[in-house]
Structure 1
Amino acid sequence: MINKEEILQNAKLWFKESIAKQHIKNTKKLSNIKKFQINPFLITYLSNFLEGNNEPISIAKALILPKVLGTSINTSFGTQIQKFTSNVLSSFASTTSGIDIEFIDQIDGEKKYCQLKSGPNTINKDDVETIAGHFKNIINLGKTNNLKLGFHNLIVGVIYGEKEELSSHYKRISKDYNYEVIVGEDFWHRLTGDKDFYSDLIKSIAEVAVEANFKNELNEIIIELSKSDYIQELSKELNS
C-alpha cells in the first residue's frame, strides 16, 4: 500500500531543507558585487525598465532579482534530484545500476524501472545516449537472469511539467529508442494511483512557500549591494 501522505510530508521537508534553505544561503551572498558578471550594456537598461531610473538601489534590484527569482532557485531544484529520490521516494528506491526507482504502474499494472529527472528541459544531447545505454544494459541483464523486460518496462519519469513542454532531447528518447517519457501529473498518477496527487504535491510544497517570507532580509541585501563602489560610481556617472 502506497503511503501518499508520507510522500507529501517528505516532499515538503525535502523542499524546505534542500531547496529553500539553500536558496536563502545563496541569496545572502548577493550583497557582494563580486558575485555578479555585469553586462554594462544591459544593466542600466534593465534598471530603467524595472524602476524607471538609474539610482543605486534600482541597479542593485536589476542585478539581484533575476538571480533570486530565476537562476539560483532553478539550479538548486535541478541539482537536488538525487536527494529527492532518497528522501521523498525512498520506498521505491532501486538497487539496479542506472535506475533511480522501481514501482508497479498503477495504471497498466506493469513493473517500471525509472530514471528520474526534475523538469521538461533538464537533459542535454549526451544525456539521451547515457539513458538509452543504461536501459539497454538492463534489458540485456534481464535476459541473462531470465527476467523478461521490454521497452515498456523502462521509463524516464519527469517530476514536473506537461508533455507538450518536453524538450527535443526527451522526445528523442521516445522517438529514437522507444522508451516512454512520463511527465508531471501522469507520472505521479502512475506512481501513486491518485490522479490528483500531482496537484496535492504542489499544494504541499506551497505550504513551505507561505513560511518563506524573506522580503525584509532581501531588501537589506539589495540596500547593501547598492552601496558598492561600482554601483555608486555607475549611478553617479549616469545621473551627472
Structure 2
Amino acid sequence: MEDKAFILEQVKQWFSQSIAANHIKNTLKLKKPKEFDINPFLSIYLAKFLTGDASAHSIAKALVLPRVLGTSITTSFGQNMQSFISILRQSYGSTTSGIDIEFHDHVDGNKKYCQLKAGPNTINKDDVESIAGHFRGVINLAKTNNLRIHRDDMIVGVLYGEQSDLSSHYKRIMSQYDHPVITGADFWYRLTGDVDFYNDLIEAITSVATESDFSKQLDEVIDELAQTETIKSLEKL
C-alpha cells in the first residue's frame, strides 16, 4: 500500500504535535491546587486507597494521576479528531457534502462513502439523525444524476474499538437506517487492504511515548503540588 508509510508518519506527527504536546502542557498546569475541584473527603480516601497513607505526596498523586491518565488525554484526543481525519482526507478525501472520505472496500470491492467517527461511544442521539440525513441526501443526489448508490455502501467508519462495543446509537444507524458501521481493525483493513494496518497505527502512536518519556517531569509535578499549602493542610486532617 503506497499510502501506508505516509499515513503512519503523518499520524505520528499529529499525535506528537497535537496530543502529546497538549497533554504535557495540561499536566504542567497541575502543580497548582486551583486546577482541581478538591473534595477533602474523597482526596484523603483515594490517597489511602492508592498508596496506603494520606501524606501530602499521596494526596497529590491521587489528584494528578486520574487527570493525566484519563480526562486530560481523552479530551485532547477528542478535540483533535478533525486534524486526524484530515490526514485520511489527504489520501481518501471526498468532495461530496457530508462525506469525510471515499474509498474502494478491499473486502467487497465496492466504492464506500464514509463518515468517520472516533470510537464506539462517541456519538449521541442527535448525531444519528444527522448522519442518516447526510447519507439520504447523497443517495437522492445520486438518483437525480442517474447514479445508484446502495445503502450499505454509505458507511460509518469508527477509528478504534470493537464491533461488540458499539453504543446503542451506532446500532440504531445499522438497524433503523441499514447503514453499516465498520469498526477498528476491520475498518482499517477495508480502507487499506493491509490486515496489519490497525496494529501498525497503534504502534506508530505508542512510539511517540517511547521517544518522549515524561515520567520524571510527572514526578516533579506531583512533588510540587504536594508542597503547596492547600495539599499540606489536607495532610493534617
Aligned to 1:214: 214
Counterpart residue number, 2:201: 201
Report the Cα offset of residue 153 of structure 1. Answer: 1.5
Q: Following TM superposition, by how much is the alpha carbon of 1:78 offset from its aligned partner in structure 2, in angstroms?
A: 1.6
Using the TM superposition, give the Cα deviation of residue 38 of structure 1 relative to its aligned residue in structure 2, in angstroms.
Answer: 2.1
Which residue does the alignment assign to 1:146?
A: 146
- C-alpha offsets along residues 202-226 of structure 1, whole Å, 9 cap, x if unaligned? 1122211201210111111111111
1:2–1:192 CA contact under 8 A, matched in 2: no
Partners of 2:2 and 2:118 in 1: how far apart? 22
Report the Cα distance in structure 2 between the residues aligned to 1:193 and 1:218, rounded to whole angstroms: 40
Q: What do you get for the CA RMSD once the two structures are aligned?
A: 1.3
Q: Could you tell me the percent identity over the aligned residues?
A: 60
Give 1:39 shift: 2.7
Give the secondary structure class of the aligned counterpart of 2:119: coil
1:38 aligns with 2:38: yes
Q: Which residue of 2 aligns with 1:63?
A: 63
Shift of 1:47: 0.5
Aligned-pair CA distance for 1:88? 4.4
Residue deviations 1:53-108 (CA, integer Å, cap 9, x gap): 11111111101100100111111112212101113441111122211111111111
CA contact (8 A) 2:11 2:205 kept: yes
Query: 2:113 is matched by which residue type in structure 1?
Result: Y
Do the aligned residues in 2 keep the contact of 1:11 with 1:88 (CA within 8 Å)?
Answer: no
CA-CA distance at 1:178 after TM superposition: 0.7
- Inter-partner Cα distance in structure 2 for 1:35 and 1:141: 50
- Is 1:132 the equivalent of 2:113? no
Contact 2:40/2:234 (8 A) holds in 1:
no
Query: What is the rounded CA distance, in whole Å, between the counterparts of 1:226 and 1:147 in structure 2?
Result: 66
Partner of 1:169: helix, strand, or coil?
helix
TM-score, structure 1 as length reference: 0.94
Distance across 1 between alignment mates of 2:32 and 2:87:
33
1:9 aligns with 2:18: no
Query: Which amino acid is the alignment partner of residue 37 of structure 2?
Result: Q
**Paired letter, 1:133:** G
Residue of structure 1 in register with 2:233 after alignment: 233
Mapped to 1, the partners of 2:88 and 2:223 lie a distance apart of: 38
After superposition, what is the alpha-carbon deviation per residue over 1:91-132, rounded to whole angstroms, capped at 9, x for unaligned?
111122211111111111111111111111111111111111
- For 1:37 and 1:177, the matched residues in 2 are separated by 43
AA matched with 1:103: F
Runs of 4+ in 1 over 4 A off after TM superposition: none
How far is 1:182 from its partner?
Answer: 0.3
Deviations 1:145-189 (A, max 9, x none): 222112112111011111111111111110111110000110000
Structure 2 unaligned runs (5+)? Answer: none
User: 2:99 aligned with 1:99, yes or no?
Assistant: yes
Mark the runs of 5 or more structure 1 residues left unpaired by the alignment.
Answer: none
Structure 1: distance between partners of 2:212 and 2:18: 13
Count of matched residue positions in the alignment of Structure 1 and Structure 2: 237
Residues 184, 198 of structure 1: 8 Å contact kept? yes
Kept in 1: contact 2:7–2:87 (CA 8 A): no
Contact 1:163 1:183 in 2 (8 A): yes
Deviation at 1:45, TM superposition (A): 0.9
For residues 126 and 39 of structure 1, do their structure 2 counterparts lie closer, same or farther at Cα, with a shift above 3 Å needed?
A: farther
